[in-house]
């Protein structure tokens, strides 16, 4: 039987009809399988005696010709010898024990990238690292270059952001990997997927499906998805082999922390407008019997607003009410007090949108980072924040994930979504231990008696170290 890689699939020439995972392809009169089954098919073909032979009841194939594999094996040692923390070593061992497959769930700031470096050195094979953003791709490239660059003849490759350099260790974005994996899926034996909770998206699933990589490692701080799609990851990468929560690492490996829940009221004018707009929304929802607690309840509401003028007015009313709650005047007063209290700390102010982030930046004269911030400017701001030249910065959702943020010990959430993932990621931004082991504080400023109360309760589920004020 001859095994070859063909446009993101495996072509199995002269294969018996007992070959697993394969379907007959009438176009070539041969069996074909998804590339992700490379390891299983090889194991099936060699399991009888450990040799490259295959037996079946009616015929014997004397030899397995493996022409699918185009990856390399080599010996790597990280250039800086750092002893792994206990949980990092346990995570690596669990991954090794699972045949070098599976996902590891660790909090933001706990050293997932370091764990990946150890896994790459352990596997000693060509590796593709997939990340969600160009910023993160550049960060991974720098880390891997520092670790292995002088041991690789072509350095560390980059696929994405205008670069198209394939090397034994290559870093790419989800979007670029999806575009090119059918071409390069035979060249890597280890697939590392950072922020792996993105992978279940239908297009991104093709990345692990179209690569032969027998070794696979997923990394994330927030594995579970609200839509349940994380269940797809087990087939794509393997099971969750190791998990540590924030509370389990706080104190020894991450900063001690406290979450503080602050409530503010609306002004009289804000309250009047909020109640009027919110009532328009509620009257419409109630009159049409939308069950917003059901999985598809809100989607049904949005669908109706696309053709019903009254529904459209209700949606606009909801958005106006949300904006009033998110940008309440008294939030700024509370923020002012907190910034004065923590003038000597490293503080990140989180908002839900760019408009509010820019408003905070202007009123409090602090640098601001949003999706609109150019890479060069963003890098400069973060570097000044790292050195202490800037002690505060405001941001929308761009720093929630995908950017290596220097250590901060105070976070202030002025607005955000109901996502537990977002909340955990924002908490993780302030938990990197500092030299003086200062405890971290995450403040959440909520407008009372508004929709924000429900949003806050939803996103804080699972975080227990809290105080209300």
For tokens 């160009």, the residue is 134
Fold of the 257-265+328-468 domain: Rossmann fold (3.40.50)
Please check whether the two domains, 86-244 and 257-265+328-468, share a CATH topology: yes
- Classify domain 86-244 at the CATH superfamily level: P-loop containing nucleotide triphosphate hydrolases (3.40.50.300)
Q: Which CATH code is given to the segment(s) 2-66?
A: 3.40.1170.30
Contacts of 102 by beta carbon, 8 Å cutoff, 6+ apart: 94, 95, 216, 217, 218, 237, 238, 239, 240, 241, 242
pLDDT 10s digits, 442-464: 888 989 999 888 777 765 565 44
* Radius of gyration of the CA atoms of the chain, in A: 26
333: left (phi > 0), else alpha (psi -120 to 50), else beta?
alpha
Strand partners, 73: 125
Count of CB atoms situated within 10 Å of the CB of 50 = 7
Across the range 342-360, mean pLDDT stands at: 88
pLDDT 10s digits, 233-277: 999 999 999 998 766 655 454 556 677 888 999 999 999 999 999
Q: Is pTM beyond 0.75 here?
A: no
Q: What is the pLDDT of residue 464?
A: 45
Q: Report the candidate in 27, 29, 28, 31 with the shortest Cα–Cα distance to residue 44.
A: 31
Most confident range, picked from 208-217, 308-317, 360-369: 208-217
Share of the chain above pLDDT 90, in %: 46
Q: What CA–CA distance (Å, rounded) separates 325 from 7?
A: 52
Q: What is the mean pLDDT of the chain?
A: 84
The ranges assigned to domains in the chain are: 2-66, 86-244, 257-265+328-468, 268-326
pLDDT 10s digits, 290-337: 776 666 777 788 888 889 899 899 999 999 999 999 899 999 999 999
pLDDT 10s digits, 69-110: 999 999 988 877 778 888 899 999 999 999 999 999 988 777
- What are the two backbone dihedrals, phi and then psi, of residue 442, each rounded to the nearest 5 degrees? -115, 110
270 CA to centre of own chain = 37
């Amino acid at each position: 039987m001859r095994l070859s890689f063909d446009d993101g699939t495996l072509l199995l020439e002269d294969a018996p009809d007992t070959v697993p995972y394969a379907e007959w392809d009438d176009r070539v009169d041969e069996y074909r399988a998804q590339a992700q089954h490379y390891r299983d098919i090889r194991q099936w073909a060699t399991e009888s005696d450990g040799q490259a032979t295959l037996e079946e009841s009616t015929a014997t194939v004397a030899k397995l010709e493996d022409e699918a594999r185009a990856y390399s094996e080599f010996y790597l040692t990280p250039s800086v010898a750092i002893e792994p923390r206990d949980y990092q070593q346990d995570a690596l061992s669990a991954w090794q024990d699972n045949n070098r497959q599976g996902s590891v769930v660790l909090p933001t700031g706990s050293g997932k990238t370091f764990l990946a470096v150890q896994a790459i050195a352990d596997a000693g094979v060509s590796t593709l690292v997939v990340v969600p953003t160009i910023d993160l791709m550049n960060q991974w490239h720098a880390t891997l270059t520092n670790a292995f660059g002088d041991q690789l003849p072509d350095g560390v490759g980059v696929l994405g952001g205008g670069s198209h350099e394939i090397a034994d260790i290559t870093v790419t974005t989800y979007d670029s990997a999806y575009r090119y994996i059918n071409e390069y899926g035979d060249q890597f034996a280890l697939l590392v997927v950072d922020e792996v909770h993105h992978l279940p998206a239908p297009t991104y699933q093709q990345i692990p499906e179209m690569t032969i990589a027998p070794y696979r490692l997923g990394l994330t701080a927030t594995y579970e998805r609200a839509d349940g799609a994380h269940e797809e990851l087990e087939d794509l990468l393997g099971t969750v082999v190791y998990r540590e929560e924030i509370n389990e690492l706080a104190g020894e490996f991450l900063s001690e922390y406290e979450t503080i829940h602050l409530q503010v009221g609306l002004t009289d004018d804000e309250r009047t407008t909020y109640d009027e707009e919110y009532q328009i929304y509620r009257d419409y929802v109630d009159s049409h019997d939308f069950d917003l607690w059901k999985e598809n309840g809100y989607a049904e509401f949005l669908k109706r607003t696309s053709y019903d003028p009254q529904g459209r007015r209700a949606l606009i009313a909801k958005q106006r009410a949300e904006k009033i709650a998110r940008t309440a005047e008294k939030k700024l007063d509370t923020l002012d007090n907190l910034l004065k209290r923590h003038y000597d700390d490293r503080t990140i102010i989180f908002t839900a949108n760019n408009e509010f982030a820019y408003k905070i930046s202007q009123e409090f004269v602090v640098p601001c980072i949003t999706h609109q911030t150019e890479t060069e400017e963003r890098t400069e701001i973060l570097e000044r924040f790292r050195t202490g030249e800037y002690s505060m910065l405001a941001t929308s959702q761009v720093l929630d994930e995908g950017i290596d943020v220097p250590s901060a010990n105070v976070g202030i959430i002025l607005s955000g979504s109901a996502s537990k993932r977002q909340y955990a990621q924002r908490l993780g931004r302030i938990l990197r231990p500092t030299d003086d082991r200062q405890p971290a504080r995450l403040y959440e400023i909520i407008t009372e008696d508004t929709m924000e109360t429900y949003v806050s309760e939803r996103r804080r589920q699972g975080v227990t170290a809290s105080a209300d004020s």
